[in-house]
Chains A and B, each alone.
Chain A
Amino acid sequence: MAGRPIPAKGICLVPVRPADANDEAPRSSSSVQGNHEALFAEIRQGTSGWQQHAFTEFHGLVRGLIVKCFGPAFEAEELVDDVFLRFFESAKRIRSADRVQSYIVSITMNCVRSELRQRKRAALTSAGADGTEIQDRPSRDDPKAKAALIQLGAVINELDPEERAVFVLRTVQGMPLVEVAEVLGISLSTAHRRVRRATEVVMKRVQRNALLCDYVLERGGKLR
């Protein structure tokens, strides 16, 4: 049952910035607890059109998280719909303005995990993980970037649903570990353990692919 992480008595919380290199805190760490005072007020008051404002505000974020979890070949439309419909139904439960964004992130990750579990049960492989499905879509200007995105997506696709969610929020999205635990309703130590395990798997796979590794290093240098 999901709930807020509760530190056990007498047990020290795992530090947010762990010392080990595998869980190095992302430099562009982005908290999900942004303040959305105006939107929160609209939701509370039931102001007309608040749903559309929320959609405009979070559509990019929701779609981005889904792409990060499933890779670029995934048809995200249905999942995007589910996230917003659930958000609209339950947003009145949000208690403060700084929780609006974390609430929708939480719904997104629940939907993602639910979809992943269903796929796992049905033993469905991610369609187009090899990039076959996106050939007819508008192509990127940089074919190397396109290939890298497809290959990284395929690596992420190998993680199990729980590890994938934690890895995407922490390592990719750059969210503080405390918030990752809160959003996913798991303890801090569980979040930490899953990040470490997922990171090991992903790094091993990426380092085996010399071209992908070189591209990531090259592009990462430009991002600095």
Chain B
Amino acid sequence: MNYISSDDRYREIIKREMSKLKRSVKIKVFTSKSISSNQTKIQECMDCGLFMNLIRIYEENSNGFLTIEEMYIDENPQFSKDYDITRVPTVLFIDEEGRELIRYLAAPQGGEVQPFVQALFAFAGAGNYYEATIKQNLDRISPSTIKVMITNSCPYCPQVVAIANLFAIAASGKIRTVIIDIIANPDIGKFYDAAGVPYTVINERPAISGMVGPNEILRALIGGKIRVQY
């Protein structure tokens, strides 16, 4: 897996964008230093050390507004039970009421920088473009999980990820998003027969393959027409 390099243009984008963060936000990253020795069934899908180096770039450039809480599952195996961690590294966005909104089984690098930054800002309370319509239709959405399967070479994946993340943040705990790099997690891709990305699975129903827009995702969540009042 290629991680961000010191001269990567995306490092500059992270620096530029994270410096605009004006509200505090905290996310958890679950890692392990010795995954093979703790006798758990947890898989290491990406190198935790390199992953943390990447995640710290976001934190270091946020003027202290982003806090990354690194959770070592070796030191506290109970974490894996409490937070349903089956592989590391895993990033969780957990709201103030303890609800998991977003789970990343993917590295926010390359094109995935943009949706990750957007999610951090929205999670911190910045404006969310989709929020009004999501709220208007919230009573028609049952508790849902959107799984977005991606690869790092996919130009359309970041756009689907951005929409799914913003939906989850707008939905007050009713929507949970899981972002999965299926090159790093081939077993998940195989489980869903995914051989193309973006590959979006909503509530375990048949997947939507390819680029999918916000109205299509919302319609799939509702199972009917979207109610809109400006």
Does B bind A?
no
Which residues of A are at the interface with B, using a C-beta cutoff of 8 A? none
